[in-house]
Amino acid sequence: MLGFAALAAQAALPIEHWTLANGAKIYLVSSQALPIVDVEVDFDAGSRRDPADQAGLASVSSTMVEKGVRAGRDGEPALDQNALGEAWADLGAEFDVSASNDRTSYTLRSLADSKLLDKAVALAARVIGEPTFPDDIWQRERERLSASIREGNTKPATVAARAFATAVYSGHPYGQQTTEATLARIDTAAMRQRYQQLIVPCRAKLSIVGAVTRAQAEGIANAMLSRLPGPEACTPLPAIAPVPALAESKEVRIPFESAQTHVYIGQPGYPRKDPDHFALNLGNYILGGGGFVSRLTDEVREKRGLTYSVYSGFAPGLDAGAFRVGFQTRPDQAAEAVKVAREVLAKFVAEGPTQNELKAAKDNLIGGFPLLLDSNRKLIGNVANIAWNDLPLDYLDTWTARMNAVTAADIKAAFARKLQPDRMVTVVVGSDPQAKPQDSK
């Protein structure tokens, strides 16, 4: 209990922020609650910067980073994938690389003991700055990914998600799909070129949480970026056009022999920095993000039995990530379920929530807020979110007050600004609605 309380109290710890000489931005929460250090290094190198004919380049490059490092400049031996795994295990540390729409992220978790931490940081620096991108492993990895894509094409949920992203983003990179054809155009030379262009210190944002001082944190940051190119590589990145708004509604119907019809309804939403974020987050909980207490669940599932589960959600990023309502239903009930879901959405946008709904949502979200900060791992995610989206440094300290300040009128106005129920994408993937009904249980 004492440990839990100490971790939850970290929400009140200040976030220190400064910029290194190489341009990297540091965000630090120093806490002695646990002898652990978590580091996340983020670069503007997500899939939105993939060439259209090489969609998937960011994702596969992040996967390949951990497949080996070349011989180090200080005489360290080259390490293949197995040797790297053993090195991390010997240190009792964790390291991971991933890519999302907006960013490529490197995460390190280590004990704070200086002997172990220094070695973990040094190894992380090699993985970040000296990856080999071995061609033989990429050939195998490409075959595995191609097989995964082929398997996904046999699943209605995957087909629906891909069709929705393509339709809702109208040609924006957020909607690009990795296919067998785009994978075939990716080679290790493309990965190296991308790395040299995008993974440079001046664009790094480092979030550090744990038992370190500011001086130690600066040492960690400098060391982890020390094997990347110098300032000569720091040229401006090309601007990316914003996600276009939908001019009219779109319907995509894809025949697919399956017991359940998969449905997505939505449109472009909002960027994470939008001032309406709190009102939209709270309102969505009431609409469809609150599980069994949401309006969509009550109207579509409880009152009419049209689906087992229905939800709504926003996915804000550097640009307007999509708003989406999603559910599965029997093919013979699909038309009715779509109609009811649209009506619930339109009514919520037009009228907003009731006072009782607002109070219940605030009680739940505010009451659960400490659970979002009850470990180093969760706290580093929140600090990295603040860093990446340039949110105020006191964001966590003011979160409860800002959520409490949202009114029903605020939610109604925010939803009216962001959503147009008459101009949405509707994707329906399933079998002939005239087919014999099947038990949804």
Residues 219-247: tens digit of each pLDDT: 999 999 999 988 887 888 999 999 999 99
| CA nearest to 342, candidates 265, 249, 419 | 265
pLDDT above 80 for 436: no
Mean pLDDT of 370-377: 90
Q: Quick check: 208 and 220 in contact, CB under 8 A?
A: yes
Which pLDDT band, with edges at 50, 70 and 90, does 398 fall under?
very high
* Arithmetic mean of pLDDT over the chain: 93
pLDDT above 50 for 438: no
Q: Quick check: 158 and 103 in contact, CB under 8 A?
A: no
Three-state SS annotation for the chain: CHHHHHHHHHHHCCCEEEECCCCCEEEEEECCCCCEEEEEEEECCCHHHCCHHHCCHHHHHHHHHCCEECCCCCCCCCEEHHHHHHHHHHHCCEEEEEECCCCEEEEEEEECCHHHHHHHHHHHHHHHHCECCCHHHHHHHHHHHHHHHHHHCCCHHHHHHHHHHHHHHCCCHHHCCCCHHHHHCCCHHHHHHHHHHHCCHHHCEEEEEECCCHHHHHHHHHHHCCCCCCHHHCCCCCCCCCCCCCCCCEEEEEECCCCCEEEEEEEEEECCCCCCHHHHHHHHHHHHHCHHHCHHHHHHHHCCCCCCCEEEEECCCCCCEEEEEEEEECHHHHHHHHHHHHHHHHHHHHHCCCHHHHHHHHHHHHHHHHHHCCCHHHHHHHHHHHHHCCCCCCHHHHHHHHHHCCCHHHHHHHHHHHCCCCCCEEEEEECCCCCCCCCCC
Q: Over the stretch 130-161, which tens digit does the pLDDT of each residue have?
A: 999 999 999 999 999 999 999 999 999 999 99
Q: Residue 433's pLDDT is what?
A: 54
Q: Which CATH class is domain 13-233?
A: alpha beta
Distance CA 276, CA 130 (A): 42
More confident position, 231 or 70: 70
Which pLDDT band, with edges at 50, 70 and 90, does 439 fall under?
very low
Q: Quick check: 71 and 244 in contact, CB under 8 A?
A: no
Which pLDDT band, with edges at 50, 70 and 90, does 13 fall under?
confident
Q: Over the stretch 78-137, which tens digit does the pLDDT of each residue have?
A: 999 999 999 999 999 999 999 999 999 999 999 999 999 999 999 999 999 999 999 999
Q: Measured in whole angstroms, how far is the alpha carbon of residue 262 from the centre of its chain?
A: 23
Q: Residue 428's pLDDT is what?
A: 97
> Which residues belong to CATH 3.30.830.10 in the chain?
13-233, 250-430
pLDDT above 60 for 34: yes
How many angstroms separate the Cα of 377 from the Cα of each of 10, 207, 329? 12, 12, 37
Q: Residue 32's pLDDT is what?
A: 86
CATH topology of domain 250-430: Cytochrome Bc1 Complex; Chain A, domain 1 (3.30.830)
pLDDT above 50 for 435: no
